[in-house]
Structures are given as structure tokens and as C-alpha cells.
Structure 1
Amino acid sequence: MRILTTFGLAAAATLAATLCASAASSAWHDSEGGRIRLVTSGQPDSAGRLEGVLEVALKPGWKTYWRDPGDSGVPPQLDVSASTNISQAALSFPPPRRHEDGYGGWAGYDHPVSLPVVFTLATPGSPAVIDANVFLGMCETICIPVQASLKLDPSSAPNDAGDAALVQAGFSALPAEAKADFGAKALPGSHEALVVEATAPGKASAVDLFVAGENGFMFGPPSREESGGKITFRIPVLDRPAAPPTGAGLPYTLTGETGAVQGLLPYP
């Protein structure tokens, strides 16, 4: 009986893994603060790009982080190196809000959120299996790191209506591209601070700026000033790379009364 039981457990585990790998959405991974899964929809385009979302179903009272959570948070991370025929996965982020937890301020979400992902096939037109290692933080009074391996076959059910609606909603929630009357621009500053002027329709009091410290930069909480109809943010530079980065710039999200936009700021 012991041999049969062991064999049965092994068979069940194999079957479960097979089922997860043959679904266009992964199985849920449960944690104390909620659960997460990956969902894809549709067929890859001619360049091999496939849209999906990392769905984060938070429990009431729990929060998770934006792309730059501050000096002590855990930003969402997605590693697809164990996948088959997937060369990269690019996460995007809907507009965050500021939160205070008694230890400091940080940017993130206090509600269930879907983070859009664009997967790129290494060889367009060939089969692919997404095997992703996901790492993020969920916070109540304390923050708990959540790590999960999420696996799926995006070709198994590409036309599922529920998956399509979830993915479409995730991408629709992203900030629009910045424009002249709703955006941010860097002003002359100093080595110690990034100074940014923001322009947005609606009430000035509703405007907030989130700048992602990437490529070796780390920023402190911004201070803001309203004068002469202009809104200026001064963002302390806590750390910077030894050499100027070669990237396109620092991603920012500007929120206001009428919505949110995103863009890039030059490195200070």
C-alpha cells in the first residue's frame, strides 16, 4: 500500500503540473496577504509580443508596491529565464498612490491590481511555455515577501473571453503618454536633488509625481511648491551610479484630477 500511495502522489503532482502548463492562465499562488497569478490573452503579434497581466488579488487592508517602492520596499519582479522560447517580459504599472506605514512613505496600491506584462517570444511562430519566477511584497502592518513559480502555456486557450477582458482592463488602466498640457519636465537643479515642473489640468492640489529610481538612482520623498500657477517638485537624490547611465531616462508617472500620464525625465 505504501508503494501505491507514493506512486499515486507522484502521479497527482505530475498531472497538476501538466494542467498548469496547459492553461493560458497560471494556477493561483496563495499567501497571507492575497494571491497572484499570470494571465495571457490572444496570439503573439508578428514580432512575437504577447500581452498578459500579473494579477494581484489583495485581501482587504493589504497593499503592494509600485515599480519604485522607496528605500525599504520590494518592487514587483518577474524572471522568465526558465521559460521556453520567451526572451523577456516587460512589466508596466498603473498609477500608484502614496502610503504611510509608520516607518516611511512609499508608492503602491491598496486594492487588487493587474500589472500589464508584454512577453516576447525568442522565435515568433514557435511554441512557447511561460515559466516565471515572481517576487513582490504584500504589506499590512508589516511587509511579507511573496515568491512564486507561475507556469502556463499561452497557446492553450488564447481566445478565453474572461482572460481577454482582464488583460484589456489591465492595459486600459495604464497612464497615457505625457503631452504639453499634462506632463513633467526637469528644471536646472543640483547634484543633491532632481527638480521637476509639473503641468496638469484640474486642481493643483490633486497633482502628484512619482519618479522611479532606476539604473542606480535612489530618490527620497518629494517636496512640492505651488507658485504663480506652477507646481514644482524637489526630489532628493539619495544615491546615484558612479557613471552616467546609458538608458533613455527615468520613468515617471504624473497623476491629477483628470487621470494620469507617464514619460521619461533626463538623468540628473
Structure 2
Amino acid sequence: MKPFRKPIAAALSASLCFAAPAMAQGVDNLVQLEILDGGKTSKGTYLGALRLDLKDGWKTYWRAPGDAGIPPQFDWSGSANIEDISITWPAPHVFDQNGLRSIGYEDQLVLPIEITPRNAKKPVRLRGEIDLGVCKDVCVPGRLDFDHTVDANAGRNPAIAAALAQRPYSAREAGVAKAACHLTPTADGMQIEAHITMPSSGGEEIAVIEPGNPTLWASPPETSRNGNTLVARSEVISASGGPFALDRSEVRITVLGAKHSVDIQGCSAG
């Protein structure tokens, strides 16, 4: 199984077992966490989900959280009979947080996961931890431990189906005709300017650029529209502060609009 860890700005310190819903300890009953079973797919994989139920008005972060916060960090290393886990992130919301723009979810997050077993004839066990932050007027850090045996005979789960339906549109579904990224060296790293030919996604559009390399960081882009072209400009720097190469095929651009969101994988040179 591939280890799956991503950096975070805040972590919740708590412990729970997912055999049944349990309240995280040490965070004043701010969040409940449960693993949902969604049954077996035609590919032989299993559907599941992490469900976070937050106290009214509290928020947690998306994988690219904007100006404030850093996304959850998942560790599946204690799991058994797992070859791979893929996550489908529902389209997030944009919040103004003390003058800063953050991106995430309020009140509840159902995060679908697809599990590929190493051996289809053996049980699949999910065991590990998630570090995250929940925020309102203040942010509370903590960690949630989980231990859950997947129910191979579970039926379709409406909560998982609804979360999958809330994923961003693909570039094709959204009518993206072209996505080009122009790169220019800067004093600290590299400027990336994305020109995306696509219909409006509604209202104020906010683009998020992810470099695709965990050692690189992209600033929240300035986003504007000129007719049929959306322009997003961001600066990418390396965690080491040294020079780096940016692979355009790994760049991921998400456009968050009032009507829908769009997930664009990779961009061309021009």
C-alpha cells in the first residue's frame, strides 16, 4: 500500500474507534468521526467514506485550504490487505476567516475513499490516524485514530453516493477547451500563469493551483476573467528554497464557481 500523508497546519488530538460513531476526546465535543461502508464495486474495489460531523458553525479544511490552514493529513500505515486508497474530494466552499480566504467544509464532510485490496479473498482493515484542524472563532488541533474492518457485503450507501455526486466537474464535463500554463522565474521561485478557455462556472470564480509536487507550495492565485478565458496567476516556491523544475502535466487547477467547480488535471506550455 502506498503511504498517504499530506502536511497540515493544525491537528486534533483525540482517539476513537470506528466500529461505531465515537466522539473525539479533548476537543470539547466539536467533531464526530465515523467510517462508512459502501460495498464492493464492479472493479473489485471497496467504497467507503470518512464522515466528519462538526458542531454547528465549525469548519474543517479542503486539501488546498487557501490563505488560512493546511489540509488534513492521513496515515493508513496500520491497515491490512490494502494495495491502494484513492480519495474523492467533494467540491469545497470558500469562507472569509478574519480577513483571510479559507477553503473547506462546514458542519459535515463525507469524504469518499476507494480501497483496492491486495487479496480479494481476505478481509480489509483500515487502521491509522487523521490529523486535522477545526475552526470557528478559534482553531482547535487534534488527532483521530481509527480501526475499522470493511464490510464487504455492505450495500449502496446514500451518503457516499451524495458525496461522490458533489465532486467537481472534469475539464471535459465543464467544456474546458484549453488550459495553458506560462512559467516565469521569480526572485524566490517561479510564477505560473494559467490561461483556461472555458465557460463561466458562475459568479466570482476562484482558481486554486496545486503544483503536484509535495515539496512545492503555490500562493493563492489572483483570478480574473477575460471573455471566455479565465486567468489565474500564482507564485510557486520550493520548501528547500532552492531551484526546482515544474512539471506542467502534474499541475492541478480547481476552479470554484457559484454554479459548479471544475477539476483540471495538467496544462500545456501554450
TM-score over 0.5 for the alignment? yes
**Residue 226 to residue 41, structure 1, CA distance change in 2 (3 Å):** closer
> What secondary structure does 1:135 align onto?
strand
Amino acid of the residue matched to residue 162 of structure 2?
A: A
Deviation string for 1:82-110 (max 9, x for gaps)? 11212332222111233232263332122
Deviations 1:57-114 (A, max 9, x none): 1222211111112475231222221112123322221112332322633321224121
Which ranges in structure 1 are unaligned for 5 or more consecutive residues? 1-16
Residue 261 of structure 1 aligns with which residue? 262
Partner amino acid, structure 1, of 2:137: T
5+ long unaligned stretches in structure 2: 1-15
- Over residues 115-162 of structure 1, what are the superposed CA-to-partner deviations in whole Å (9 max), with x where a residue is unaligned? 111122121222222113112211112222231112222126512x6x
Q: Which residue of 2 aligns with 1:12?
A: none
Any conservation in 2 of the 1:181–1:201 contact (CA below 8 Å)?
A: yes
Distance 1:184 1:35 in 2: 42
Partner AA of 1:220 in structure 2: S
Conservation of the 8 A alpha-carbon contact between 1:251 and 1:265: yes
Q: How many angstroms does 1:196 deviate by? A: 1.3
Could you tell which deviates more after superposition, 204-213 or 129-138? 204-213
Please name the residue that 1:13 is paired with: none
**Which amino acid counterpart does residue 96 of structure 1 have in structure 2?**
P
Q: Residues 236-255 of structure 1: matches in 2 within 5 Å?
A: 236-239=235-238, 242-244=243-245, 248-255=249-256
- Equivalent in the alignment of 2:38: 41
* Residue of structure 1 equivalent to 2:205: 207
SS in structure 2 of the partner of residue 206 of structure 1: coil
Letter in 2 for 1:190: T
1:41-120 aligned within 5 A: 41-43=38-40, 45-46=42-43, 48-70=44-66, 73-102=69-98, 104-120=100-116
8 A Cα contact 2:40 2:152, kept in partner: no
Q: SS where residue 83 of structure 2 aligns?
A: strand
- Partner of residue 235, structure 1: 234
TM-score, with length taken from structure 1: 0.77
| Percent identical | 23
Whole-angstrom distance in 2 between the partners of 1:83 and 1:247: 33
Residue correspondences, number: 243
- Distance in 1, matches of 2:22 and 2:65, equals 24
Counterpart CA distance in 2 for 1:203 and 1:148 is: 36
Cα 1:247–1:211 shift into 2, 3 Å: closer
Q: Where in structure 2 are the equivalents of 1:3-42 lying within 5 Å?
A: 23=19, 26-30=20-24, 31-32=27-28, 33-42=30-39
2:146 corresponds in structure 1 to: 150
Cα pair 2:37 2:49 within 8 Å, conserved = yes
Note the C-alpha offset of 1:240: 6.3
Bigger-Rg structure (1/2): 1
Q: 1:14 is matched with which residue? A: none
Letter in structure 2 aligned against 1:227: N
Q: CA deviation at 1:248?
A: 4.9
Give 1:168's aligned amino acid.
A
The question of whether the paired residues in 2 share the 8 Å contact of 1:95 and 1:253 is answered with: no
Secondary structure of the equivalent of 1:166? helix
Partner SS for 1:41:
strand
Please, what TM-score do these two structures have when normalized by structure 2? 0.76
Counterpart in the other structure of 1:5: none
2:194 counterpart (190, 196, 205): 196
What SS class does the counterpart of residue 75 from structure 1 fall into?
A: coil
Alpha-carbon distance change, 145 to 94 in structure 1, aligned in 2, over 3 angstroms: same
Moved over 6 A (4+): none
Report if the CA contact (8 A) 1:71-1:218 is conserved.
no
Q: CA deviation at 1:29?
A: 3.7
Separation in structure 2 between the aligned mates of residue 84 and residue 75 of structure 1, nearest angstrom: 25
TM-aligned CA deviation for residue 226 of structure 1: 2.9
Cα distance in 2 for residues equivalent to 1:244 and 1:238: 10
What RMSD, in angstroms, separates the aligned Cα atoms of the two structures?
A: 3.0
How far 1:178 moved relative to its partner?
0.8
In the TM superposition, 1:122-141 aligns within 5 A as 122-141=118-137
Aligned equivalent of 2:166, options 125, 149, 173: 173
